[in-house]
């Protein structure tokens, strides 16, 4: 079974530009989560999508947004990039929590975003 995949592996942008990151969940998983891991810091929750809808978002400004497509893949968009947005962006997927409370989340390899 293929795991969670993310693209691109690395992304270099300049301040003020927009970045688009992509995630494909494990087959059968309907929930997708985005986390930011800045250097030396833990995993900060960004966004949670389930069945095409945004279920929850973390303490991040509105320029962080995303969507989930009918095939459950997801996209994270970061507008007006700032230097402090440089981080590893991790995507995770899980089964629908309503299907028996299956909360296990499995992570993709991440996209390393560098803002110069």
Partner 1 sequence: GENVEQHPSTLSVQEGDSAVIKCTYSDSASNYFPWYKQELGKRPQLIIDIRSNVGEKKDQRIAVTLNKTAKHFSLHITETQPEDSAVYFCAANSDYGGSQGNLIFGKGTKLSVKP
CA dist., res. 9 & res. 54, Å (int):
24
Give the per-residue contact string, 42-71, with partner 1 (x = CB under 8 A; - = no). Answer: xxxx--x-x----xx-x-------------
Helix ranges restricted to H, 1-116: none
Give the whole-angstrom CA distance, residue 15 versus residue 106.
31
CA dist 19 → 83, 92, 96, 99 (Å): 13, 19, 28, 33
Token pair of 98 as six digits: 């309503």
Considering the complex, state which of residue 33 and residue 81 has its C-beta at the smaller distance from partner 1. Answer: 33
Residue 103 within binding range of partner 1, rule CB under 8 A: yes
Is residue 39 near partner 1 by the rule CB under 8 A? no
- In the shown chain, the binding pattern of residues 74 to 93 toward partner 1, with x for contact by CB under 8 A and - for none, equals ----------------x---
Q: Give the binding site for partner 1 (CB under 8 A).
A: 31, 33, 35, 41-45, 48, 50, 55-56, 58, 90, 94, 97, 101, 103-110
């Amino acid at each position: 079974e293929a795991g969670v995949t993310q693209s691109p592996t690395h992304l270099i942008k300049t301040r003020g530009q927009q970045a688009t990151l992509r995630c494909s969940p494990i087959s059968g998983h309907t929930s997708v989560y985005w986390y930011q891991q800045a250097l030396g810091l833990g995993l900060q929750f960004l966004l949670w999508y389930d069945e095409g809808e945004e279920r929850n978002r973390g303490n991040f400004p509105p320029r962080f947004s995303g969507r989930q497509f009918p095939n459950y893949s997801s996209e994270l968009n970061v507008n007006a990039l700032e230097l402090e947005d440089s981080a590893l962006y991790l995507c995770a997927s899980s089964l629908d929590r309503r299907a028996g409370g299956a909360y296990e989340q499995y992570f993709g390899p991440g996209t390393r975003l560098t803002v110069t």
